[in-house]
Chain A
Amino acid sequence: MTKVTMTVNGKAVSGDVEGRTLLSSFLREDQGLTGTHVGCDTSQCGACVVHVDGAAVKACTMLAAEADGANVDTIEGQSNADGSLNVIQQAFQDHHGLQCGFCTPGMVMSAAALLKDNPKPSETEVREYLEGNICRCTGYHNIVKAIMAASGQDVTAIAAE
């Protein structure tokens, strides 16, 4: 076992992990942060996307030991300080950007990473950025719409086909 220490959602945490412990397992099982979902465990679906030192990564495809010393942000740290939904989360609610909700944490984390680098993405850019986030309810139109709305753009023209 190796001791790892990292900052998760602004709080210093530590734990003993095996070499093979995935970051997703550490967050979910050691830290109890089960908002990071594991959908496929094969790096395809993106439900486990978190930010490591500001970059979106798939937590099921990174070792916890590799996140030692890093700043990790998960869906649990996304809400505003008063506990209300942040702009992206609120937009997902307003535009019905989820159906079953399983992929939503990864979608929100990917959206946050996109908007940080590209505050006013085009619809095409949003769709391209979400290539590694799969919604098996196929609710993509409203997810894209929600992200466009969260970026402050007018979404009335984007039809929910």
Chain B
Amino acid sequence: MYNFEVEKPGTLAEATAAMAGEDAQALGGGQTLIPTLKQRLASPAKLVSLSGVAEMQGISKDGDALRIGGATTHGAVAADGNYPALSALAAQIGDPAVRNRGTIGGSLANNDPAACYPAAALGSGATIITTNREIAADDYFQGMFDTALDEGEIVTAVSFPIPQAANYQKFVQPASRFALVGVFLAKYADGIRVAVTGASNEGVFRWAEAEAALGDDFSASALDGLSVPADNMISDLHGPAAYRAHLVKVMTGRAVTAAG
């Protein structure tokens, strides 16, 4: 690792001020960033650790929504249970020690194309709350490792509308345990949302045809006539594009069945 300074702000105002410095980088739980720094793939002058920012901690019910502070760990979300499908998703990220450090804000800011949380946020139509504004999940994810966040902007919280039913199906890449394909499905009064991670070169995406079909008939057989084009799917040693495209449909079907 190249060397850097570490700042540990205690409030959001201090964190925002610290991020204004040249080459400052926010540090969530560091479970992706620290390995990235070790490989010298990033060389920030300063890391702004968000783990001590009190306003970014914790989980609260806010009407029909669940608000999760950006510095909340995967372990805390897994243990929460107010949104069972979301807790189940968090419980499948990494391993217990990683879940004790990794945060939801860090995951969403990084937007790894195989990460689990982007599927939950997009699949739930969540709102990403930042130091500057509120961003709808549909506008937030902008491709692999790319988001609507501006320089220095911090994900302070995420608000998830709690659905009537939901399920996450993760086909695990056996070496990394990231999602080779992960499908998050949620059923709301105004429709079904299906978000897919791990599969596309564009990062997380919604499968609109499946959402429409499941809106008419909420059963796995409603997907029978559909297929996912392999054109823009990731192809690597773990699976070719056609395999991932196929898995999207299989995992969506499993999610429908499991959501009931």
Cβ of A19 and Cβ of B30 under 8 Å apart? no
Q: Which residue of B lies closest to A63 (CB)?
A: B6
Digit string of A1-28 for contact with B (CB within 8 Å is 1, else 0)?
Answer: 0100000000000000011101000000
* Count of chain A residues near B, Cβ 8 A: 27
**A132 near B: Cβ within 8 Å?**
yes
Give the complex CA separation of A131 and B51 in angstroms.
25
Cβ of B3 and Cβ of A20 under 8 Å apart? yes
Cβ of A132 and Cβ of B97 under 8 Å apart? yes
**B5 near A: Cβ within 8 Å?**
yes
Give the complex CA separation of A61 and B38 in angstroms.
10
Give the complex CA separation of A43 and B47 in angstroms.
19
Give the complex CA separation of A154 and B68 in angstroms.
41
Scan residues 109-137 of chain A and give those whose CB is less than 8 A from a CB of chain B: 110, 113-114, 129, 131-133
Cβ of A132 and Cβ of B3 under 8 Å apart? no
**One of A114, A129, A132 near B98 (C-beta < 8 A):** A132
Counting residue pairs across A and B whose Cβ atoms lie within 8 Å, the total is 75
**A58 near B: Cβ within 8 Å?**
yes
| A65-B49 contact given A42-B38, A113-B96, A131-B96, CB 8 Å threshold | yes
**One of A20, A22, A56, A131 near B177 (C-beta < 8 A):** A131
Cβ of B30 and Cβ of A66 under 8 Å apart? yes
**A49 near B: Cβ within 8 Å?**
yes
| A65-B98 contact given A19-B47, A43-B31, A131-B177, CB 8 Å threshold | no
Cβ of A129 and Cβ of B38 under 8 Å apart? no
* Count of chain B residues near A, Cβ 8 A: 27
Q: Which residue of A lies closest to B5 (CB)?
A: A19
Instruction: Please report whether the interface of chain A is mostly helix, strand, loop or mixed according to DSSP.
Output: mixed
**A155 near B: Cβ within 8 Å?**
no
Cβ of A58 and Cβ of B38 under 8 Å apart? no
**A72 near B: Cβ within 8 Å?**
no
Cβ of A43 and Cβ of B98 under 8 Å apart? yes
Smallest distance from the beta carbon of B116 to chain A beta carbons, Å? Answer: 15
Smallest distance from the beta carbon of A61 to chain B beta carbons, Å? Answer: 5
Give the complex CA separation of A129 and B95 in angstroms.
7
**One of A18, A63, A131 near B95 (C-beta < 8 A):** A131
Scan residues 112-149 of chain B and give those whose CB is less than 8 A from a CB of chain A: none
Digit string of A28-58 for contact with B (CB within 8 Å is 1, else 0)?
Answer: 0000000000000111001001000001111
Cβ of A132 and Cβ of B100 under 8 Å apart? no
Cβ of B35 and Cβ of A43 under 8 Å apart? yes
Complex A-B: 6 CB contacts under 8 Å: A61-B98, A63-B49, A66-B51, A131-B95, A131-B96, A133-B95
Chain A residues in contact with chain B, CB under 8 A? 2, 18-20, 22, 41-43, 46, 49, 55-58, 61-63, 65-66, 68, 110, 113-114, 129, 131-133
